[in-house]
Amino acid sequence: MTDSALQVRNGRMRAVIENVTPSVDGGRFAAKRILGDQIVVEADCFNDGHDMLACLLLWRNEDEIAWHEEEMAPHGLSDLIARVNRARHDNPALQSDHSLRFCPIDNDSLLCYTKSDTISGNLVVIVVNLDPHHVQSGWIELDLDALGSDTKTPYQMHDLLSDARFLWSGPRNFVQLDPQRAPAHIFAVRRKVRTEHNFDYFL
């Protein structure tokens, strides 16, 4: 089997282009504009894995034969990927999978799991919306023994993607994720908090 055939079999050469705008009936008809008006062309382009893609837009005027090339600027995921990579760098718990533990949640469209690092005491809770189109919400059941907390002691959940902070207490807490705003939470758990002075702000 050739290297190129192996790559196709492994899916590394597959790419998807969707949600192209402007578009009329999936490109069957020309998208009309006022003469001289600027056109912003956008598309969701991705492949298997997390590699960044370079995309070219081919265009030509009606009376031209040769195509012109314009490199499309990355938009959307680059900032999210940067924040995920920063969280992975700053949190030892995210640097291995040996401590991976899944948490019960009452919505099948949500996935929740924890990772921890015993040396540093770092504990992270990740919640992911598996539905790319709709807002999903649910109740998470956390293991308070793993948090080093009890039912009466509040703990802070610091979202490393949005930098938001939430005050949780007890094992059962509510989450809601809008895929158009943020597809996931990566919570760093701040434990052993006794008073409001330990928080950046207190809810």
Domain boundaries, the chain: 3-75, 79-198
Q: Which of 133, 136, 161 is nearest to 18 (CA)?
A: 133
Taking residues 60-83, report their average pLDDT.
80
* pLDDT, tens digit, 9 for 90 and up, residues 74-124: 766 667 777 888 899 999 999 999 999 999 999 999 999 999 998 998 999
- CATH 2.60.40.1180 correct for 79-198: yes
**Beta strand pairing call for 184-190 and 155-159:** antiparallel
Backbone angles phi, psi at 155, to 5 degrees: -140, 150
Distance CA(164)–CA(157), nearest Å, equals 8
pLDDT at position 203 over 50: no
pLDDT at 201: 46
The mean pLDDT of 145-169, rounded to a whole number, is: 85
